[in-house]
Amino acid sequence: MKLIIGEENDSQQWDTIVDRSPNGTLFYTWKWLKLLEKYSVIKIAGFKFNAQFFPLFITQNEIIVGIYPLYLFKTPMSTFCYSPPSNIDLLYLGPLIPDLETMKQEKKQMFLQDLQIQADRFIKKNLKANYIQINTPPGFSDCRLFKWGGYSATPRYTYHIDLTCGSDNILKNFNRSLRYYIEKAKKEGITVSDGTREDAFFIRDMLAKRNRIHSP
């Protein structure tokens, strides 16, 4: 197994991997990841440090079998490697392997262990990072590859809501407190509609004022 840095002309091949992956999302696409690189900044002691995007292709026997997006922040004191960048409100990223769930358990386990060995070697030897933080894609529940590599693994969970059962059933499954606030909003005439670009900037500014987001 090898990790190879992709180039700009590899963007279509990158997005093909995303399209093939059951847990691939918009946030893995090349254009989105390049936008993250453009707007990702960390602030230390009043100084700003920009991200550098490393789009890694995972290859096996010279065949591309997955992708591994990484972001590097170089500071005078330390070099940080993230996936996704720490100052971006994005839950998922990390390695994406389209055919992972079709592998037999033993092969899957060996593949993941080898992958993280190669990733650690690349991050520490090539990128010279001394702090690493990796999230995983949606549905990726096996954290053993990180534990084997000496990482501290922290499970994080979210909810999956079946939208096919109808709005009445969805509402019934909410807790009492949430249903109360929904009904209160209806009585006060609050409605939901598609916003404009200006509305998006307004929401972003409001969140920033409340210290809910940390990107510049």
Same domain, 61 and 94: yes
Query: With bands split at pLDDT 50, 70 and 90, how would you rate the model's confidence at 207?
Result: confident
List C-alpha distances in Å: 197 to 31, 161, 201, 202, 204.
Answer: 19, 28, 7, 9, 11
Domain count of the chain?
2
The rounded mean pLDDT for the chain is 89
Tell me the mean pLDDT in the region 82-110. Answer: 89
Residues 171 and 118 in one domain: no
pLDDT at residue 213, as a whole number: 65
Q: Which domain range does residue 171 map to? A: 161-216
Task: Note whether 184 and 102 are same-domain residues.
Answer: no
Predicted model pTM: 0.80
Residues in CB range of 51: below 8 A, 6 or more apart:
36, 37, 40, 41, 42, 71, 72, 73, 82, 85
For 142-164, write each residue's pLDDT tens digit. 888 888 888 888 887 777 788 88
Per-residue pLDDT for 4 more than 90?
Answer: yes
Judge if 140 and 59 occupy the same domain. Answer: yes
Rounded CA gap, 72 and 75, in Å?
10
What is the separation of C-alpha 186 from the centre of its chain, rounded to a whole number of angstroms?
Answer: 34
Please indicate, yes or no, whether residues 42 and 116 belong to a single structural domain of this protein.
yes
The per-residue pLDDT for 122 is 94
Structure tokens at 128: 């010279």
One domain, residues 40 and 145: yes
User: Do 6 and 63 belong together in one domain?
Assistant: yes
How do residues 99-119 score in pLDDT, each as one tens digit? 998 999 889 989 999 998 999
Same domain, 6 and 88: yes
Predicted confidence band of residue 173 (pLDDT cuts 50, 70, 90):
confident
Beta bridge partners of 5: 56
Tell whether 85 and 54 lie within a shared domain.
Answer: yes
Specify the CATH number for the domain of residue 45.
3.40.630.30
What average pLDDT does this structure show over 60-71?
95
Distance set, CA 39 to CA 21, 73, 151 (Å) = 26, 13, 27
Single residue among 158, 176, 197 that ends a domain in this structure:
158
